[in-house]
Amino acid sequence: MTRRERLHLRNGLLFAAPWVVGFLFFQLYPLLMSVYFSFTDYNVVHPPVWAGLDNYRELFFDDPLFWKALYNTLYFTVFSVPLSLVFSLSIAMLLNRKIPGMSVFRTVFFLPSIVPIVASSVLWLWVLNPESGLINSLLQQFLGIQGPGWLADARWAKPSLVLMSLWGIGGAMVIFLAGLAEVPQTLYEVAELDGAGRWAKFRNVTLPMLTPTILFNLVMGMIGAFQYFTQVYVMTGGTGSPMDSTMFYALYMYRMSFYYLRMGYASAMAWMLFVVILTATISVLISSKRWVYYHGD
């Protein structure tokens, strides 16, 4: 290397040093320590004590609430993610029309997704209140029926959170709008020449061209659903009530780490969650080879 090249290399390393140092101390180091803590008995107050596979053994064989939390999280993921995809795509299709004032409607539908999560959770606490909530009041006034207990009823608690998750589909909707803008208009023209109607154009043109966008929203929605925490923490006070029906995986991990100071056990739970998310993501990506179409292939 010439002197000028060495000078450029040094300058480049100096500019990159803040990020490298931040990555090493605030990302890589905590990541490696969490692996170590997952094999120890650690409560923050005392030094970690090596425990081998005891934490993982307790997770699988001695902790029924772990399986309950995992089931609740899977239930929420299985129902909320597909519904969010369907509703966000449907709204994007409606908002993709070129009519006056459409930007206003797009803004209205996008606004809920940028409302602070805590604020929206408090709002939904009122909406889902079984006695004076908006939904039950409307059901009583217009249909003459008594609404369910929603978050106060173990049977309706998880469906309530699934319903609430549809409030924040604005982000996915915007991504679908971007995907719709990339669909070549020539394909629609060819379909019309072949006599295709609206449904045929959607099924044979729009949907195949949107499959990469659907894949992206599916993966991101699935990862977010597995880490669902803030809303359920605010709406249940972090207790997972009633009857642990809202004890989601991330909430249970939080309680283990900061309520009971079982940092080693919580680290093991975190790595199990990583394995679950990684497995689900890889499965979706592998299956995408059969249903995702990339324009130009």
pLDDT digits (tens, 9 = 90+) for 116-166: 999 999 999 999 999 889 999 999 998 888 889 999 999 999 999 999 999
- Token pair for residue 31? 């990541």
Write the Ramachandran bin of 228: left for phi over 0, alpha for psi from -120 to 50, otherwise beta. beta
Residue 101 has pLDDT above 90, yes or no: no
- Average pLDDT over the chain reads 93
Tens of pLDDT along 203-242? 999 999 999 999 999 999 999 999 999 999 999 888 998 9
pLDDT category at 247 given cuts 50, 70, 90 is very high
Alpha helix positions (H), the chain: 3-23, 29-37, 54-61, 64-95, 102-110, 117-127, 134-138, 157-165, 170-181, 185-193, 198-201, 207-226, 230-236, 249-254, 263-291
Cα separation, 210 vs 90, whole angstroms: 12
* Cβ neighbours, 10 Å, residue 25: 10
More confident residue, 196 or 274: 274
Tens of pLDDT along 11-49? 999 999 999 999 999 999 999 999 999 999 999 999 999
Cα separation, 72 vs 158, whole angstroms: 8
pLDDT category at 273 given cuts 50, 70, 90 is very high
Residue 297 has pLDDT above 80, yes or no: no
Provide the pLDDT for residue 194. Answer: 87
pLDDT category at 1 given cuts 50, 70, 90 is confident
Of the CA atoms within 13 Å of residue 105, those in its CB half-sphere come to: 14
CATH code of the domain occupying 40-291: 1.10.3720.10
Domain-wise residue ranges, the chain: 40-291
